[in-house]
Structure 1
């Protein structure tokens, strides 16, 4: 099953949030729906720490979701 991991990141200085496609099962063969649900928080924390834009403390992960299939992220929420 194709799985997409989506994070909603919000900037602290504004009420500005955006959806970001973190990864999917075609980019990382280890991504399954179950692994996303169980280990998603730890993986997202590591992804955020290494991301050039979102790694600052000005951004926080508001929520994430594991989506079965392909997903089109919305620019602003």
Structure 2
């Protein structure tokens, strides 16, 4: 089964309060990582996501936080913005 892992990342406001500036970001999918299954995404997703954020040039800063992640069966179509 084709699986896509998506994170919803939100930029923190300068006051440190939650912001409504959130974006979807595709972290990986089965085509990029042949070991990714729906079950492994659900079980190991949080640890993999923390590593991805640490290594990502844009979202690495403390200005971004991971609001949530999801494992989606199939090919995911991006959504530009989310309500916080």
Distance in 2 (alpha carbons) for counterparts of 1:24 and 1:18: 18
Task: State the structure with more CA Rg.
Answer: 2
2:31 matched residue in structure 1: 26
Moved over 2 A (4+): none
Tell me the secondary structure at the aligned position of residue 23 of structure 1.
strand
Q: Please give the residue correspondences for 1:64-75 in structure 2 after superposition, counting only pairs within 5 Å.
A: 64-75=69-80
Matched, 1:61 2:66: yes
State the TM-score, normalizing by the size of structure 2. 0.89
Partner of 1:43: 48
Aligned length: 77
Could you say what secondary structure the match of 1:66 adopts? strand
In structure 2, runs of 5+ residues without a counterpart are 14-18
CA deviation map 1:6-42 (0-9, x unaligned): 0000000132000001100000111100000000000
How far the C-alpha of 1:73 sits from its partner, in A, is 1.4
The residue number in structure 1 matching 2:2 is 2
Structure 1: distance between partners of 2:31 and 2:20 = 32
